[in-house]
A and B are shown apart, each in its own frame.
Chain A
Amino acid sequence: MAIQIEPLKCINCGACELGCSFYRDEVFTTMSASIMMYREEKRNYFGLMLKKEEEMVLGRPEGVEVQKDGESSGEEEANASAKPILMREPCDECKNAMCVRFCPTGCLTEVD
């Protein structure tokens, strides 16, 4: 199952990060998730990044963008926020994903 992001439903709560990290390590942390919030806090610009095998899915407020490995969005601040996720495991497209189950708004859904 793949994860679909509807960025404007995101409220930046981070439940997806916590849920995915729990799925991986059975502890509460935010550090091992394949999905991660990013935020330019003073601008109230926020969204999600989902690391996949060979690409990164960026759920920005303007829309969803897929970047192949090695590509850059050209936006310095978003790129800086994205760095930590580059070291993480990619999404393994698990079924009944915890990121989806604990997302309170329906921003994340599972699709075939």
Chain B
Amino acid sequence: MDNMYTEYYLVVDLATGTAEEIELEEEFVQEYVGGAKLNMALYEEHKDGEPIVLGTGLFTGTLVPGSCLGVITAKSPVTGKVAHAPFSWGAGAELKLTGYSFVVIKNAAEAPTYLWLHDEIADFVDASALWGKNVWDAVDIIRDEQGEDRIQVLSIGKAGENKVTTAQIVNNYWGDGDRFGFGALFGAKNLKAVAMRGMGELEIDDADAFIEKTEALLGVVKKQIAGKSGFSALDFANIPAALKAAAEKQMHRVEADFNNPLPYKFFLKYREDPTTMASTKVEEPGVLVSDPIGYAALGAAVAPEDAAEVLEACFKLGLNPVAVAGKLTAKDKAGAIAELEKMAESSKADAFDAVLSPFAPASERAEAAYIAGICPVLAAAAEALNAEALAELASIGTGLDFDADAFKL
């Protein structure tokens, strides 16, 4: 594929330690576009290997507003269906820039392994020393080992290693909407992490027209999200007033995903004064509320002022906060974290019925966002990011012909 995507996708067989580059053909993109839809086609093609497919959308890594999204597609041990969870922050774009817009991960490794994707190279790295480490320590070790702090890491903690269905895949240090127990699938494959860093380049068919349309779209999107950031962007998360009040006391700064004009994520500090702007010697001053629904769920389970620290524990253990919140009995922080430690050894998520992660409001725009590679939280807030607009941009960027129906699953 000449435009918007990389030339190849990758099929990894963990059992044999081999990786095969396969050409990403134009006809394939014309039929399946990308993101969740193209992932699904790859899943079906490689179904025998019980694959986990990591994929990007057509616009992931481009200047289209909200172009941060990557999608994990696999058969969920929670729902029993093939489902799609998001990975945002910097990881979606970074995957594409490694040179592989899609990666199919088949079978299981004999021993703990992490996959290191960089500059059209896939390395299988011994992860024995990482097995048993919490997510935050594993990310630090991988970044040290590979020598760059901009490496993006999807990894699991103890929960995933123990294959509990409340496990989730964590994006760097922060949970990212995996409600489907995909962390347990990483564990079953002996896959501790996928680390990504790339220096790739994405070409555009009609670059001038694409930039002109994209800039105009950004202008409209900015008007539609005007005044929204942090809590005000999160009506859908139903964060109760008491939890908001507790968070306001710990609030540091809001922050955005890659090329996302909507900074709905926010960082809470509870180990140093939250107004501290300088870099201090406190290495872990708090947590990024990257999963506001998870935060709200924990806030209903424990004292509001403790919810952030309990969320941090979930991220370190690689537990899905929504799945575990309802199982907590302790109301105090120490008791809740002790219970989470046990849940990371053995716990089961309650079944629910969804195919797209219920991380953002479900809608036609969310569906289109999961195909296009656009943040679904932004898509929910900005009507301009609809299938018609995305189809027009897709046609300009690729030189192919897309209509709005292409952005439906």
Seen from chain A, the residues whose Cβ lies within 8 Å of a Cβ on chain B are: 8, 11-15, 18-19, 22, 25-31, 39-46, 61-62, 75, 77-78, 80-81, 101-102, 104-105
8 Å CB contact of A13 from B149, B259, B267, B279: B259
Kindly provide the distance from the CB of A111 to the nearest chain B CB, expressed in whole angstroms.
21
CB-defined contacts of A61 to chain B, threshold 8 Å: 253, 277-278
Determine whether the beta carbon of B90 is less than 8 Å from that of A14: yes
- Counting from the closest, the 8 A-B pairs by CB-CB distance are A104-B261, A61-B277, A44-B267, A28-B202, A27-B201, A11-B256, A11-B263, A13-B256
Chain B neighbourhood of A77, CB < 8 A: 149, 279
For B252, the closest partner residue in chain A by CB is: A44
- Interface range on chain B: under 10, 10 to 19, 20 to 34, or 35 or more? 35 or more
Q: Which of A8, A13, A81 contacts B258 (CB 8 A)?
A: A13
CB–CB B283/A15 < 8 A: no
Partner of B211, one of A12, A22, A30, A104: A22
B360 nearest CB across to chain A (Å): 18
B45 close to A (CB within 8 Å): no
- B-chain residues with CB within 8 Å of residue A28 when the two chains form the complex: 61-63, 201-202, 204
B327 at interface by CB-CB < 8 Å: no
User: In the complex the two chains form, what is the Cα distance from A101 to B65 in whole Å?
Assistant: 12
User: What are 24 sample pairs from A and B whose C-beta atoms fall under 8 A apart?
Assistant: A11-B229, A11-B255, A11-B256, A13-B259, A13-B261, A14-B259, A18-B62, A18-B63, A27-B202, A28-B61, A29-B200, A30-B93, A41-B172, A41-B173, A42-B285, A43-B283, A44-B285, A61-B278, A75-B279, A77-B279, A81-B150, A102-B63, A104-B218, A104-B261
Decide: A31 near B211, CB < 8 A? Known: A44-B252, A44-B253: no
Interface residues of B in 187-216 (CB under 8 A from A): 199-204, 207, 211, 215
* Apart from A13-B259, A31-B199, 11 more pairs, CB < 8 Å: A13-B256, A15-B259, A28-B202, A29-B200, A31-B201, A41-B173, A42-B284, A44-B255, A104-B222, A104-B256, A105-B263
Residues of B contacting A13 in the complex (Cβ-Cβ under 8 angstroms): 256-261, 263
List the A side residues contacting B62 at CB < 8 Å: 18, 28
Nearest neighbor of B207 in chain A, beta-carbon distance: A26
Do the beta carbons of B278 and A62 come within 8 Å of each other?
Answer: yes
B127 within 8 A of A: no
| Cβ-closest chain A residue relative to B281 | A43
Q: How far is the CA of A26 from the CA of B222 in the complex (A)?
A: 24
A46 vs B283: C-alpha distance in the bound complex, in angstroms?
14
Q: Which of B202-251 contact A (CB under 8 A)?
A: 202-204, 207, 211, 215, 218, 222, 229
- Whether B97 is near chain A, meaning CB under 8 Å from some CB there, is yes
**Is B200 a contact of A43 with CB atoms below 8 Å?**
no
Contact code string B167-200 (vs A, CB < 8 Å = 1, else 0): 0000011000000000000000000000000011
User: Bound state CA distance, A20 and B48, in angstroms?
Assistant: 44
Asked if residues B199 and A29 are in contact (CB atoms below 8 Å), the reply is yes
